[in-house]
Every structure is written in structure tokens, then in C-alpha cells.
Structure 1
């Protein structure tokens, strides 16, 4: 008589329990998704507005070295971001982006702290520069991993256009609140924590920031779900990278949106990177004024996000995107033509923030729509990971290219780091980098790159979104 294994043991394997279907998208998930971009924008705002200032005024690095550091760090992201996108595309449906988001939070928090810790003054300038470059490069890689996974979730949480617009609006509201908070509290908190030493203050402040950002990202990783079957019954993407890039290049809407985002990010990098210098050396105000101007811009961006939804319903996402981008550039051009001062310049910067806030939610909604309906030749959702990764890479490349170009402009104009007074030539260069260059880039993005962007049918797509999104 042969021995027979009892049911449930090694002789008879039970089928794995089915994975329960995620619940419908609710208010908690929408808010949690917005919390994630709040965390990312806290770090992005710090890098955009205070990284160059930290390196030149706190670490006392020459501006030429800072420009090289920014460019060298981005070289790592040129490989990391597309690799992350391909990895996501080749993951099974339902487990494409969330595992990577959850695994990357802790390393990201550590590198946030290390990037803003000044190295000992006893080290040589070269050694400190290399150490700072390695830390910033690590932060760029970690940011690319978790941010790419988060961005892909815009396409994976739901395929419903109305809910995507709600998610994009929540995301932009969260991002704006993060930028507002960091613009108001950064320098006062640094001085308070450091008791007059900004070196110590930055280190302590960034430790607290890392904990807050980690908690916000955990909310997205915990409460968001993947519902869209990205492969639609097909196997995960195994096509050569060249073929996938060719598919995306043929997607006209994705190509135009990515190009416009690159130009506007380049312009924003000039504007926010030169803001502290312009306030201090051109307007003649305390550097705290830069924080208040950033806060005012963030408030107006928040207001713009709130009115973006009804405008998209009335005029269409593509038309709102084009008009808002052109208006933002026109406002900056007017500001450059007027005498510099906190009053006039600040008021026009508020209008600029309103225009940017109107554009932000519709931009991400349009991007997800292009990936859904770009056609088989454009890759569609089959290349959703690579599509979002390359879009993110373009934006971050614009950030570091802009930072390097701004550093080169300031160096060419004779900016003296650590000095309380700058020459007239240096002030002219600062003011042009602050307003004129961003104005031209925004006008190019809205008036040229987005000119042929197809019009999405707004009323049918977002008719269920008449109520305001969660703030």
C-alpha cells in the first residue's frame, strides 16, 4: 500500500489565494496620492531654490564648480531613470510601480540628509567638492527611482479621465503646499536651529525634512493601488529599448508635452535659482524676502490648481495648457521691463504663479491621455514606465542644465560669492537670468512647442468632476 500525502501537504499543492481586487478610488487614496508629490516638491523646492545658494554661500564653492557638480550628477540619472522605467514595464500587472516606491523611501531619506551636510572646512576645496558631488549624485539617483515609480502611478491607479484629473489636481495641490511650506520656513528654521550657524542649521533642518518627506511618501505607497492592466492581456514589454523609444518618439502628443515641460522647467530653474540673488543684490532686500516671494507664488499656484478644473471643463485641457503657458511667459516679460522692486515684481510673480497653477493639473492629465490614446505605433500603455521615466528625465535634465547655465551666467557677469555688494554688470546678469530668460522659454513652450497639441474633448472627459478636488 502506497503512502499518500494528506491534502494540503507537499503531495498536493494548493492553488495560491487570489489577490483581492483593490477598492474603488476614494477620497483617502486621492489625498494620499497628493501627499506623495508634497514630499517630492519639498525636496525639489529645496534643490531648485536653495541648492546653488547652499553650495556658493554656505559651502563657499566657486560658481564654476557648482555648475560642473550639477551637470555631473545628472549623468547618473540619464541611465537610472530609463532603466527604472523599463523595469516597471517588465513587471507583472498590478505590481509594476508600488514595490519600487516602497523600497526606495528609506535610501532616499538618508541621501536627502547627506546632500545638505557641509563637509569639514579642514578638507581641501577639491575633496569637499568631490564629496558634495557624490552626495548629490546619490540623491539624484534615489530621487529618480522613487519619483519615476510615483509618476507612473498616474496611469496605473485608474484609466477614468475624470478621476485622473482629480488625482492630478490633488497631486498639484500637494506639490504646491510642499513648496509653500519649504519656502516660508527654510531660512528662518535654519537660523533658529543653527543659532546663527547656517552650516549646523542646514544639517539639522534637513534631518527633520527627511523624516517628513519619508512619511508623506509612505502614505502614497500604503494607500494607493494599481488597477490598470497596463499590458491588456499581453506579456510585459520585452521589445528592444530602441524600438520602445521609437514608439514614444512617434507619439506626437507625448513628444510635444515633454518638450514643453523641458522648456518650462528650464525657465523655472533660472527664475527660482536666481530669486535669492535678485532679492539680495538687485532689489536690495533681505534674503528672507525671497522666502516670502516663494510663499506668495506657491499660494497663487494653489489658487491656479483650484480653478484649473472648471477651466478645463469649459475650454479643454489642451487649450488651457497652451494659454496658461503663454500667459506665464508674458507676465515675466512685463516684469522684466518694469523697475525691479518687491512691489511690482512681487505682484507680477503672483500672476505668474496663478498661470503655472492652472497649467499643472491639465499637463499631467494630458500626458496620461497621450499614453492611453497614442496608438499602437506610439507604444500606448505598453510603454507607460519608459514614457514617464523619459519625461521625468527631461525635466530633471532641464533642472541641472538650467542650474549649470545660470551658474555660468553669474560667473560671466562677475558674481562675487559671499560679497554683500555686486557690480552693475553682475546685477544686470542676475536680473536677466531671473526674469528675461524664463520669459523667453515659457513663450517658446506655449507659443511654439504646444501650438499643434491636439484638443482633448473636455466635457465628455471630465463631466463628472464638477465638484472641487480635495485640497
Structure 2
């Protein structure tokens, strides 16, 4: 079976799509909670319900979007057209989300609900096709891993811009009015995302074609439920995202209140984590060429839990240099798994197709996207509840009880979720060796079937999967 290689330009183009996506993801994970409480003016207890409501909507829209990408194909491909037609609406929705209307609290809260739901819906409409794209660009596991390395590198560049440029530019452009400043700076981020989606569309090509399931959604759900490796990734996605978002959401509070810094320190502290994550993308690609990627995934997340405990107990309010150092190490280690995770999804889909004779690609990727956003919703709610529990008051001197709570939310609490993530990956078995052997064994079994089949069957040159009752066949891979 021919394996497709990707050019550097196409890998960069693929990465540009995730850079666009991460304008929203980074803002949701790193600044949206701080923006809503300290800039927009929403009470922390109201944030918890907002995040939960939006995730309940995602429970419906993510699987539906996955089914939509399965249903329709175009002359541009199955996934790329969404980048072309939704690029501009995506940018506009980002601008509106970070705009603060001059109205009463209830109307302001309603506006927050409306714009946050809007940006989430459009985000879903481009993200599901995007995370599915890697499965049709190439069928080579190493090329997928390499492309995901590019992708996550550019994603962290977006996070770097959001954390460095947005706070600094907001303070400068707003000239004392941070609401205007955030509207302007995030508007620029939205415009950048629009251009990046267009570049992704024009620089990539869909090559690998899968026969897509057209069966009832509940039948596909049952098929996914049999894919034990996909279920492991779902659990890892939820727990890892909860930990990541809790830490990211409270980082600005930690820099401002626990370390006593202003906008510059907030920006620098957030940027420290992003720079570490960018370096982790490079390091992960290098390490996985020499070391088992699944073991890297497992042990890096367990190490995150250890570093989280060290951060809480060793760093005091005056230990600014130590806080930056340990936070850098923590952010570096936590993202070593990222390229592995996103390449593993496509491999888990192939595993399910081989093991059970069922491929539900769109629903598989849609389900992972939902898990990520479900984790974000849980984390957002936890942050809102914890800020309320620890008696947080925006833009005021915080009590020692509140400061201890903020320190816990940056360290031990998210570290616990990363520990769960690392332990769960001991149930994951699809290493590169396992994956290649699985395909080789499958190809040999298909060759054996063809050798004993009728001439009419032997005329079929595609690689097919026989279901248990042999009533129909699904293509595992075929190339355009």
C-alpha cells in the first residue's frame, strides 16, 4: 500500500489551520475566565453556569458536525471547504466575544452567553473538519506524527501571540480602558485566524479516501463503544484538558495576585508557559523518533503531577524567579504528549476499522472534539466554583485563604487530573510497531481472502474490511 509523503509547505499549511483554531482555544484556556471576571465584569459564580451551558450545546453540535463531514464530499474534498467558507465568520465571532457592551449586568450576561455560544458553534464547524484532515492527508504514521508536530508548534505560536500581544496591546491601545483594548487586540487575532484558515485551505490536499459509514448514528455510536483504544483517548482527553485549562485559566490570577505583578508580569508569566510548550513540540518530535511515543505520553503526565506538588510547596509569594522556573518546566513537560495524542486519534480510528469492521471517522473525531470541549467546560465550571469558594473578589487585595486557593488551582488540583491522564494511557497499546504490524497482518489476511475468492471479487482492487456477517464490506483505505 502506497504511503504518502507531505512537503514542508503542506505541513506548514496544515499547521496554519491549528494556529487559527488556537486563537480561540488559547483564549478559552488562558484568558477567557480572567477577561470575564476582571475586564468584562461577570461574577465568578455566574461563569460556572455559562461554561456548563455551552458544553451542553457542544454535546449535540460536535457529533452532528462529525456526521455532516461524513455525509458530504465536494470537489475540494470532504474537510477543506469548511476552512474556505467559515474563515470570515470565525474571525468576526472572535471579535464579538471579546467586545464589552455598555449595558446593565443582566444584559451584559446575556450578551456573554450569545457571543460565547456563537464563537463555540463556529469553532465546532471548523475544528471537526480540521482534526479529521490529518487522516486524509497521508496514511503514513510517521508523516502524521511529523505533521502534528508542525501543527502543534504553530498552535503554540498562536497561544504565544494571545498571551504576549493581547495583554500588552490591550493595555497600550486601551489607554486605561481595558475593555476597548481587549476588543481591539482580539479583533486582530480574529483577522489573523481568518487569513490562516484560507492559507490552510489553499496549501493542503486530501489524498486518502475512506468509505464512510452511512448507517444510523446510534449504530455508529455502538461501533465506537467497541473501540477500546478510542475510549481510552476520550478519557485521557477529558482529564488532560481539565487539568490544562484549570492551570491555564488561573495563571493570570497567580501572576497578578499571588506574585503581585501588573500587566507586564501577567503577560510574561503566560508567555513563559507558552514558550515552554513550543519547545516541547520540537522536543517531542525528536524524542519520539528514538523513544516509544506511548511511554512518553504516560510518564510525562505522571511527572507533571510531581512537578505540580513541587510548585505548590516550594514557591512562596516572593519567589518570583523560582515560580517562573518551575512553571516553565511544568509547561514543558505537560505538552510533550500533545503531538502523540493528536496522531493517535487517526490510528485509533484505523484500529476500530480493523478490529470491528466499522469505520465512523467523522463521529470519532467529533467525539474527541466534544471530549476536549467537555473538559474545557468542566474546568471552567471548576474554576468558577473554586474562585467563589476561595472568596475571590476581582481587582481587590486578596486574603491569604484566597491566595492559597489560587496557588492550589495552579499546581496540585490540575496535577491530579494529569496523573489520571497518565495512568489511563497504560491501557493504550497502539505504538508505531503495533500499528504497522496490525496493517501488515490485515493486508495479508485480505490477500488470502482474495486468493480464494471468485474472479469477480478479485477484480476489486481496493482494500476492504469484511464484517462479521459478511453481508457488506467497508473500505479501510483507498487512495485518490
TM-score bin (small chain): 0.7 to 0.9
| Aligned residue number for residue 470 of structure 2 | none
The answer to whether the 8 Å contact 1:316/1:458 transfers is: no
Residue from 345, 348, 358 that aligns with 2:323: 345
Q: 1:314 aligned to 2:290?
A: yes
Name 2:377's counterpart in structure 1. 400
Is 1:108 aligned to residue 90 of structure 2?
yes
State the alpha-carbon separation in 2 of the partners of residues 54 and 40 from structure 1: 19
What is the Cα deviation at residue 309 of structure 1? 2.4
The answer to whether the Cα contact below 8 Å between 2:170 and 2:182 also exists between their aligned partners in 1 is: yes
Q: Which moved more, 1:283-292 or 1:200-209?
A: 283-292
Change (3 A) 1:98 1:460: closer
Query: C-alpha distance in 2, partners of 1:387/1:97?
Result: 14
1:335 aligns with 2:317: no
Superposition map of 1:251-400 within 5 A: 251-340=227-316, 341-376=319-354, 378=356, 382-400=359-377
- 1:457 and 2:419 are equivalent in the alignment: no
Residue 166 (structure 2) pairs with residue 191 (structure 1): no
Q: How many residues align?
A: 431
Looking at structure 2, the residues matched to 310 and 188 of structure 1 have their Cα atoms a distance apart, in angstroms, of 33
Q: Does 1:444 align with 2:426?
A: no
Q: Is the 8 A contact 2:246 2:409 kept in 1?
A: yes
- Report deviation, 1:349: 1.5
Inter-partner Cα distance in structure 2 for 1:261 and 1:290: 27
Query: Which of 165, 186, 201 is residue 221 of structure 1 equivalent to?
Result: 201
What SS does structure 2 have at the residue aligned with 1:365?
helix
Q: How far does the alpha carbon of each residue in 1:172-221 deviate from its partner, in whole angstroms, 9 at most, with x for none?
A: 11111111122111111001111221111111112211111111111111
Cα distance between partner residues in 2 of 1:331 and 1:342: 17
Distance across 2 between alignment mates of 1:356 and 1:428? 23
Asked if structure 1 preserves the Cα contact closer than 8 Å seen for 2:45 and 2:388, the reply is yes
Judge conservation of contact 2:79–2:133 (CA < 8 Å) in 1.
yes
The TM-score with structure 1 as length reference comes to 0.87
Q: Which whole-Å CA distance do the structure 2 matches of 1:152 and 1:455 have between them?
A: 19
Deviation at 1:392, TM superposition (A): 0.7
Q: 1:378 to 1:177 in 2, by over 3 A?
A: farther
SS at match of 2:289: helix
Paired residues of 1:100 and 1:145 also in contact (CA < 8 A)? yes
TM-score, normalised with respect to structure 2: 0.86
Equivalence for 2:128: 148
Q: Measure the CA separation in 2 of the matches of 1:269 and 1:24.
A: 34
Aligned-residue CA RMSD (Å): 2.0
Q: Structure 2 unaligned runs (5+)?
A: 437-480
Shift of 1:134: 0.5
Q: State the distance in 2 between where 1:34 and 1:288 align.
A: 29
Instruction: Tell me whether 263-272 or 51-60 shows the greater mean CA deviation.
Output: 51-60
Paired with 2:146 and 2:335, the residues of 1 have a C-alpha distance of 14
Residue 42 (structure 1) shift:
2.3
Change (3 A) 1:88 1:460: closer
Quick one: distance in 1 between partners of 2:434 and 2:9?
Answer: 26
In structure 1, the partner of 2:453 is none
Alpha-carbon distance change, 312 to 460 in structure 1, aligned in 2, over 3 angstroms: farther
Residues 227-238 of structure 1: pairs in structure 2 closer than 5 A? 227-231=207-211, 236-238=212-214
CA apart distance, 1:285: 2.2
Are positions 1:55 and 2:36 aligned together?
Answer: yes
Deviation at 1:331, TM superposition (A): 1.2
Distance 2:268 2:301 in 1: 24
* Cα pair 2:39 2:179 within 8 Å, conserved: yes
2:305–2:412 contact (8 Å) kept in structure 1: no
For the residues of structure 2 that align with 1:318 and 1:353, how far apart are their CA atoms? Answer: 19
Moved more, 237-246 or 402-411: 237-246
Q: CA shift at 1:454, angstroms?
A: 0.5
User: Residue in 1 aligned with 2:444?
Assistant: none
Q: Which residue number in structure 2 is paired with residue 10 of structure 1?
A: none
User: Paired residue for 1:12?
Assistant: none
Aligned match of 1:39: 20
Gaps (5+ residues) in structure 1?
A: 1-22, 462-471
- The answer as to whether partners of 1:89 and 1:237 remain within 8 angstroms in 2 is yes
Indicate conservation of the 8 Å contact 1:312/1:458, yes or no: no
**Alpha carbons of 1:176 and 1:459: their partners in 2 closer, same or farther (altered >3 Å)?**
farther
